[in-house]
């Protein structure tokens, strides 16, 4: 029996993966099926698993095996796996068990209460819970920052986007800020010239669900290894062998649920195509949150909102909801490519979306670095919404600073992934189009096989084998930049 140090580590990480599997499915159940009275007990059970995983990962033997395995004769994949194992260990080892448990409990409490506090516009109730989450997140950030020698916020950012820093983000976002507001104004002015016909509802939930399932099938989702459900906030969870995606329905609104499904299907296809031979090891995990978001935005925006895909989708819409003036070819495409600055991030078009992300990034960075407090959030939110989109959120917490789920469980550092993902998606789609000259014709025919094979070859099959920078450079031939995102927005909207 091989008992090399590296083998000991792979066994340990396989155990951790199985516990993650259980907590992921229990978390999915909590968001979709669980009766309200089960919340406290489920929160405690999930916290228990968090502590157990933390104990396994921070065992003294793991540190010894990591040191010794570095001297062993490992191939490329094993070396990449060891690099990722070391990263996981270092991230866990800096945190005391009590903090892991406290943060898990505070997050469950805050998220569960948020579900009723948000519809009630109850900022006071919400902020009391959020203050506890922020306090614990700051403690975590300080410990991580001390270990890494960086700012508290950078330490949390690194959890979602390895090697990314606020300084690098500021450069990328400053570039966006230099041209995006002007582009947004031009698009809004151009689109105000035309009269669009709104689809007339109601749109029964069951038919919307059927339409979503049809889109998932078209996009290659494997229903033997996943399912679609309803939750308060759309998400993709589960494990590569059993991917759970959710959306939310509104009988008066046809397309937000559908494109929520298309978005989450992008996440799901990435998970379902991660390298199976390494499954259970860190090297088989998705590379980063921004790469994950690049896949969902590739599906939702680059592909899903393209003229060719929308034309392909339209017969399925008419089949479910009948013929009406809104479903003329031209109107349907224009309706789906509308740019209308609004209050809600998840419903935002791709031109105004980065404004929502940069606003959150600037607030959460200041919050974690201790420059502002929870009570400062509503006024800052309003000020930044006014500046970016000319919209006020005074007194409207529900559609302002209470709209997202991310901060409820301490997911600070996650938001930048969305706009990084949009930039990666545009760069990847440009590279795919260059590699596949007939791509647009194939999409119009409903044949996505070459496109998905390109993604599998260039992104999906690699898991975390390469750093994000190397992954993108080998897929597109250059480092991340905003050129293709700008080209894409200009071509589609102007």
365 Cβ contact list (under 8 Å, min separation 6): 153, 166
DSSP string, 409-436: GT-TT-THHHHHHHHHHHHHHHHHHHH-
CB 176 within 8 A of CB 419: yes
Q: Known binder of ligand: residue 430? A: no
Q: Known binder of ligand: residue 263? A: yes
The sheet with strand 226-230 has its strands ordered as 226-230, 242-247, 236-239
CB 403 within 8 A of CB 344: yes
CB 274 within 8 A of CB 405: no
Q: In this structure, are strands 242-247 and 236-239 parallel, antiparallel, or unpaired?
A: antiparallel
Place of tokens 């789906």: 336
What stretch of H or E contains 226?
strand 226-230
CB 191 within 8 A of CB 336: no
Q: Known binder of ligand: residue 293? A: yes
* 254 closest CA partner among 299, 311, 209, 300: 209
Residue 383 bears catalytic tag: no
Catalytic choice (264, 285, 300, 350):
264
CB 146 within 8 A of CB 160: no
Kindly give the residue spans of alpha helices, DSSP state H, lying in 118-151: 123-148
B/e letters for 339-356, b = 16+ CB within 10 Å, e = fewer, are: bebebebbbbbbbbbbbb
Distance, in Å, from the CA atom of 103 to the CA atom of 137, rounded to the nearest integer, reads 7
Binding site as annotated, residues for Zn(2+): 263, 267, 293
Instruction: Give the residue numbers marked as catalytic.
Output: 264
Binding site as annotated, residues: 263, 267, 293
């Amino acid at each position: 029996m091989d008992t090399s140090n590296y083998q000991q580590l792979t066994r340990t990480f396989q155990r951790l993966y199985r516990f993650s599997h259980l907590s992921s499915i229990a978390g999915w159940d909590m968001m979709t099926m669980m009766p309200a009275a089960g919340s406290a007990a489920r929160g405690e059970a999930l916290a228990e698993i968090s502590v157990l995983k933390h104990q396994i990962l921070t065992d003294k033997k793991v540190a010894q095996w990591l040191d010794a395995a570095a001297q062993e004769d490992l191939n490329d994949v094993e070396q990449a796996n060891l690099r990722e194992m070391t990263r996981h260990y270092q991230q866990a080892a800096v945190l005391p068990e009590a903090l892991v448990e406290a943060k898990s409990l505070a997050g469950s409490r805050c998220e569960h209460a948020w579900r009723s506090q948000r519809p009630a516009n109850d900022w006071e109730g919400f902020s009391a819970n959020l203050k506890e989450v922020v306090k614990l997140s700051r403690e975590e950030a300080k410990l991580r920052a001390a270990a890494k020698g960086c700012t508290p916020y950078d330490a949390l950012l690194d959890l979602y986007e390895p090697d990314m820093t606020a300084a690098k983000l500021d450069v990328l976002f400053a570039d966006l800020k230099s041209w995006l507001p002007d582009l947004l104004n031009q698009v809004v002015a151009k689109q105000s010239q035309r009269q669009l016909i709104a689809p007339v509802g109601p749109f029964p939930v069951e038919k919307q669900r059927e339409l979503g399932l049809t889109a998932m099938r078209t996009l290659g989702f494997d229903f033997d290894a996943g399912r679609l459900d309803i939750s308060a906030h759309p998400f993709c969870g589960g494990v590569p062998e059993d991917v759970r995606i959710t959306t939310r329905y509104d009988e008066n609104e046809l397309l937000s649920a559908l494109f929520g499904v298309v978005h989450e299907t992008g996440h799901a296809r990435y998970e379902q195509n991660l390298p199976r031979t390494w499954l259970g090891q860190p090297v088989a995990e998705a590379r980063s949150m921004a790469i994950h978001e690049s896949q969902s935005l590739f599906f939702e925006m680059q592909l899903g909102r393209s003229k060719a895909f929308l034309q392909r989708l339209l017969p399925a819409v008419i089949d479910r909801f009948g013929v009406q003036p809104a479903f003329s070819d031209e109107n349907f495409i224009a309706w789906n490519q509308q740019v209308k600055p609004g209050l809600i991030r998840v419903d935002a078009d791709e031109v105004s979306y980065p404004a929502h992300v940069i606003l959150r990034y600037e607030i959460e960075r200041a919050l974690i670095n201790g420059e502002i407090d929870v009570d400062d959030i509503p006024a800052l939110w309003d000020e930044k919404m006014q500046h970016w989109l000319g919209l006020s959120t005074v007194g409207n917490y529900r559609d302002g600073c209470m709209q997202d789920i991310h901060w409820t469980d301490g997911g600070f550092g996650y938001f930048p992934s969305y706009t990084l993902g949009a930039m990666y998606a545009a760069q990847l789609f440009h590279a795919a189009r260059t590699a596949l000259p007939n791509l647009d014709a194939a999409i119009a025919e409903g044949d996505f096989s070459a496109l998905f094979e390109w993604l599998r070859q260039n992104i999906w099959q690699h898991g975390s084998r390469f750093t994000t920078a190397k992954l993108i450079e080998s897929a597109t031939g250059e480092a991340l930049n905003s050129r293709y995102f700008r080209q894409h927005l200009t071509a589609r909207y102007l």
